[in-house]
Structure 1
Amino acid sequence: MAFELSAFKVINRFKPHILMILLQICVASVYFLTEDSFNQGLNPHIYVTYRHAAGSLMMFPFAYFLERKIRPKLTLAVFLEIFLLSLLGVSLALNLYFASMKYVHPTFMTAVVNTIPCMTFIIAVVFRLEIVDVRSPRGIAKILGTLASLVGVMVIAFYKGPAVPSLKGAPIHLGTNSVHENWLKGSILTVASCILWSSFYIMQAFTLKKYPAKLSISAWMNCIGAAQSAVYTIIVQPKAAAWSTTSGIDLWCIIYSVS
C-alpha cells in the first residue's frame, strides 16, 4: 500500500512532464501515419483541409458554451487578425509542411520542427519583443540553450548512421514506398513552414491580448484555415475525385490528427 501511494505521488508530481512526453509521441506518430496515407493517394492539401474542418466542428461547441460569458465582441479588426493568423499558422504553414513530406523523411521533419522555439526566440529578439541580457545567467542560458537546440537538431537531421532494421514482430508496419528525390526542395519547404509557425506564435500573443478567448480563437482559426486551404486545394487540384478518401487509414489519420 505504501509503495502504491509513493508511486502515485511520483506520477502526480511529474504528471506535466509525462503528458508532454506522451504528446510528443502522439505528434511524431502523426507524421508517419500521414506519410503512409499520402503514399496511398491522399493529397496533402486535402488532408489539411479535412483536418481543420473537423477541428472546427469539434471546437465550436466547446468555445460557444465554455466562453460565452467571457468572450468579447468580435470586431472586424480582430477578425482580420484571426484571418492572418489562420493564413500563417494553418493554411500556409501546414500545407508547406505536409507538402515537404514528398521530398524528405518524417525523421528529418520531426527534427526540424523542434527548431520552432529557437526561431520564435530569435524573431522575438530581432523585433525587440524579447530582451536578452548577455551579462545575466538567465540571458546566457537562453543563448546557450538556443544554440544547443539548433546544433542538436542539425546533428539529428543531417547525420546518416547505419540503418536500423524494423522488428519482425511489430504489430504495425507502415508502407515504405515513399520517394524522397528532392532533398533540397523538401528542406526549404520544411524550414519555411517552421518560420511561419514561429511568426504565428508571436502574432498570436498580441491577438490574445485583444481577444482573450482561446477556445474561440482556435475554433475560428480551424474554420478559416480550412476554408483557405480548400480554396488553395481547388486551384492546384481541380479534380473532384481527389477529395474522396480511398482507404481506411485516410479517415483514421484525419481523426487521429484532430484529436
Structure 2
Amino acid sequence: MPLPTQLRRRYCLWELLVFTAMVTVECANVGVTTIYKAAVTMGLNYHVYMAYSYAIAAAFLLPLASLIHRNTPLPPLTVVLLGKFFILGFLGFTGQYLMYLGIAYSSPTLGSAMSNLTPACTFCLAILFRLEKLKLRSLSSQAKIIGASVSIAGALVVVLYDGPMLIPAPDRDDLRISIIDRVMSGAQYDWVLGGSLLAAGYIVASVWYIFQTIFVKEYPA
C-alpha cells in the first residue's frame, strides 16, 4: 500500500537531513585532520593535542548530558557497568590515538581515504556479533558486501601505492614554507607505517561502534 503524500515528504526530508548530517560530519573530520597535521608539523605534540581535545569535549558534553537526562531515571552504576564504560573509553582512546599517530606519519589525505575502512569493518564485525543478518539473496546485503569489498580494496591501494607528489615543496632553503605547503608536502612521513596505523585505528573504531551499540541498550544515557 503506497504511503500518503505528506508522510512520503516527511520521510524524504528526514532522509535528506540524515544525509546532510553525515556529509557535514565527514567535512568536519577532514577539517580536523588537516588542522591536526598542521599543528603537528609546526611542533605540537600529539599527546598534548589529544589532552586538549578531550578536556574541551568533557567540559562541553558533561554539563549537556546532565541537563538533558536530569529527569530521566537511570540504572544504578555497578562495577560491571563501570567496567563497560572503561572498555568503551579505552577503545575510543586507542582508536583515536592510532589515527592521530598515523596522520602524523602520513597526511590528512591518507587519513580521510582510510576512513572508508570503518563502515566495511563495522559491517563485518556486526555479522560476527550477530547484529546484522547476512542474506546473500537480498539486494541490500549484496550492496553491503560489494561496498565493503571496494572500501577495503581502495584502502589497500591507497596505503601500498605511493604516487608522485602533486604539490612539491619549494627547493630554495631561504624560502619560508607556509603551513599549507608543509602539510601538503608530507615532510618526514612514512606512508606505509602511517597507513598501517590508520588502518589499525579505524578497525579499533569499528570494534568501538559495535560495543557502543551493545552497551547503549543497557544504559541509554
What range describes the TM-score normalised by the shorter chain of this pair?
A: 0.7 to 0.9
Correspondent of 1:87 among 87, 90, 94: 90
C-alpha contact 1:33 1:174 (8 A) present in aligned 2: no
C-alpha contact 1:32 1:106 (8 A) present in aligned 2: yes
Residue 175 of structure 1: CA displacement? 4.4
Identity percentage over the alignment?
28
1:99 is matched with 101
Q: Deviations over 1:190-235 (max 9, x none)?
A: 111111101000000111011010xxxxxxxxxxxxxxxxxxxxxx
Correspondent of 1:77 among 67, 80, 88: 80
- SS of structure 1 residue aligned to 2:67: helix
C-alpha contact 1:38 1:44 (8 A) present in aligned 2: yes
Distance 1:112 1:58 in 2: 29
Q: CA 1:21–1:138 in structure 2 vs 1: closer, same or farther (change >3 Å)?
A: closer
- 2:201 corresponds to 1:204: no
Q: How does 1:221-240 map onto structure 2 within 5 Å?
A: none
C-alpha contact 2:136 2:142 (8 A) present in aligned 1: yes
C-alpha contact 2:103 2:110 (8 A) present in aligned 1: no
2:180 is matched with 174
Q: CA 1:127–1:209 in structure 2 vs 1: closer, same or farther (change >3 Å)?
A: closer
Q: How does 1:99-248 map onto structure 2 within 5 Å?
A: 99-155=101-157, 158=161, 160=163, 163=166, 174-176=180-182, 178-213=186-221
C-alpha contact 1:36 1:175 (8 A) present in aligned 2: no
Q: Which letter does structure 1 place at the counterpart of 2:202? A: C
Give structure 1 regions of 4+ aligned residues with deviation exceeding 6 angstroms: none
Distance 2:104 2:67 in 1: 40
Q: Deviations over 1:104-144 (max 9, x none)?
A: 11111111112101001112223433220112222222212
C-alpha contact 1:100 1:187 (8 A) present in aligned 2: yes
- SS of structure 1 residue aligned to 2:180: coil
Q: How does 1:49-68 map onto structure 2 within 5 Å?
A: 49-68=51-70
C-alpha contact 2:114 2:199 (8 A) present in aligned 1: yes
Q: CA 1:205–1:16 in structure 2 vs 1: closer, same or farther (change >3 Å)?
A: closer
C-alpha contact 1:100 1:186 (8 A) present in aligned 2: yes
2:24 is matched with 22
C-alpha contact 2:162 2:191 (8 A) present in aligned 1: no
Q: Which letter does structure 1 place at the counterpart of 2:97? A: N
Q: Deviations over 1:1-32 (max 9, x none)?
A: xxxxxxxx9x9673433333232212101111
1:41 is matched with 43
Residue 178 of structure 1: CA displacement? 4.3
Q: Which letter does structure 1 place at the counterpart of 2:85? A: I
Q: Which letter does structure 2 place at the counterpart of 1:146? A: A
- SS of structure 1 residue aligned to 2:125: helix
Q: Which letter does structure 1 place at the counterpart of 2:191? A: W
Q: TM-score when scaled to structure 2? A: 0.78
Gaps of 5+ in 2: 1-9, 169-177
- Higher alpha-carbon deviation: 122-131 or 74-83: 122-131
Distance 1:178 1:163 in 2: 11
C-alpha contact 1:125 1:131 (8 A) present in aligned 2: yes
Q: CA 1:154–1:184 in structure 2 vs 1: closer, same or farther (change >3 Å)?
A: closer
Distance 2:218 2:194 in 1: 36
Residue 34 of structure 1: CA displacement? 0.6
Residue 83 of structure 1: CA displacement? 0.9
